[in-house]
Amino acid sequence: MSKYCQNCGKENEDQALYCAGCGASFDNPNTNQNSNQQVNVNINNYNGPTPIVANRNIALAIVFSIITCGIYGLYWFVVMTDESNKVSGDNGTSGGLALLFTILTCGIYGIYWYYKMGQKMYQAGKMHNKEISDNSILYLILGLFGFGIISYALIQNDLNKFSNN
């Protein structure tokens, strides 16, 4: 048996205290749901709170990546992955693991990462009524041809739409 979050409709483990999708408490009577009931949620009408992420200056992030010979770029990769997981409600691979997989596969996982980031950002945009296009193919092509920094900038631009500023 599974329990479904009344707030966002995500299926969760029976013993879960909080929804893995939106963080709503199952102890709260407003979010409790009978485990035999399924909730149909249209992500276009998601009314949950919009997660807040840091608003990063894209130009500075690129300059820091160049000045530090790519070390800041690794940090930026990890943070963007974690923040995209947060805004899309997808608790997939963490930023640290994504970086590790990219290093261990000599960049092959990184190519998949570009595509997946495009999908996550599009999903997050639909969930939170933000104007975000499905750029997964664009990110993939830019990454394949060595223009990953442009993909980073475009992904960060989409993530900045979820900031307070």
Confidence of residue 134 (pLDDT cuts 50, 70, 90): very high
Instruction: Look at residues 80, 105, 106 and name the one whose alpha carbon lies nearest to residue 93.
Output: 80
The whole-number pLDDT of residue 48 equals 58
| pLDDT tens profile 30-67 | 544 444 444 444 444 445 566 788 899 999 999 999 99
The whole-number pLDDT of residue 28 equals 54
Instruction: Look at residues 118, 126, 127, 123 and name the one whose alpha carbon lies nearest to residue 157.
Output: 118
Residue predicted with more confidence, 41 or 125: 125
Is the dihedral angle over the CA atoms 116, 119, 155, 18 positive or is it negative?
negative
The whole-number pLDDT of residue 27 equals 72
Residue predicted with more confidence, 13 or 117: 117
Q: Which residue has the tokens 């990953």?
A: 148
Phi-psi region of 135 (alpha: psi -120 to 50; beta: other; left: phi over 0): alpha
Question: Residue 150: pLDDT above 80?
Answer: yes
Residue predicted with more confidence, 11 or 65: 65
| pLDDT tens profile 70-116 | 999 999 999 999 999 999 988 889 999 999 999 999 999 999 999 99
User: What does pTM read for this prediction?
Assistant: 0.69
Q: Which residue has the tokens 């943070």?
A: 79
Q: Which residue has the tokens 């900045």?
A: 160
Is the dihedral angle over the CA atoms 109, 114, 115, 116 positive or is it negative?
positive
